Amino acid sequence: MIDKSVYGPWAVVAGGSEGVGAAFAEQLADAGINLVLIARTPGPLEETADRARARGVEVRTLPLDLLGPGAPATIREATDGLEVGLLVFNAGANSYGHEFVTGDLEKVQGVLDLNITAQLALTHHFGALMKERRRGGILLVGSLAGYLGQAHIGVYSAAKAFSRVFAEGLWLELREYDVHVLELVLGVTRTPAMERAGLRMDLPGLRVAEPDDVAREGLEHLADGPVHLAGGNGKTAERRSGFPRAELVLGAHEASRRLLPSST
């Protein structure tokens, strides 16, 4: 179980209403860590908060959009006076999947703002406080999509590649202050967002992870940064990091098309 004396007494979970974020919230509550949960949708957010409170911890909720101009300031104000020992950044689902050159550039910018700008703002704020206290943890939820470019979600893939490399650098900066940094790289995971997108998860040979399992794996390996591949996807990441790139990118593209509803 995660050590409250290292990562408590409070944790902030961005994207903490459902799926992997809710699993993080419940497992942290089981460890006796109080929570600040952030998500856009109030209903699921409060449901997750209630389940965490039933485990005996204090929970505060912030139903806000991280893309809002005042979101970082709101989060800072809401957590002033709290000793936050853990930041989990689980926000940043791929919410805009279209061809880049004919797509809406404003929506593309939103993908960058959520996956990069908001992540940097929260990591900068809470990371500085953890460095000063010389303890804590930062867990950034990444994706196998960040290991190669993909049609229609190329900007999302690039943002996830940024997050992974950023985590490696931040890990180097903070390790001497006993602040742990981990990029938890997920593969296909059975989340409500994936189910709403209609992705096929019944394909033969497809490795599908459950939210509880990947959250538990992330917390168990928080001190083993800078990067951990969840769900046994290490070999997949190795293959996607190889050469020649054209062959790898085309092969992954053909495989990913089978997941789409339109391919049924």
CB 189 within 8 A of CB 24: no
CA distance linking residue 15 with residue 141, whole number of Å = 10
Beta bridge partners of 36: 12, 60
Beta-sheet strand order (sheet of 179-186): 59-63, 34-39, 10-14, 84-89, 136-143, 179-186, 227-229
CB 37 within 8 A of CB 23: no
Give the SS3 label for residue 159: helix
- The number of angstroms, rounded, from the C-alpha of 92 to the middle of its chain's C-alpha atoms is 7
Element (H, E) at 184: strand 179-186
Residue 19 burial (C-beta neighbours within 10 Å; 0-12, 13-18, 19+): buried
Active site residue 147: no
Q: CB-based contacts of 136: which residues, under 8 Å, 6+ apart?
A: 6, 7, 84, 85, 86, 87, 126, 129, 130, 179, 180
Annotated catalytic residue, options 7, 96, 147, 156: 156
Element (H, E) at 88: strand 84-89
CB 182 within 8 A of CB 167: yes
As annotated, the active-site residues are 156
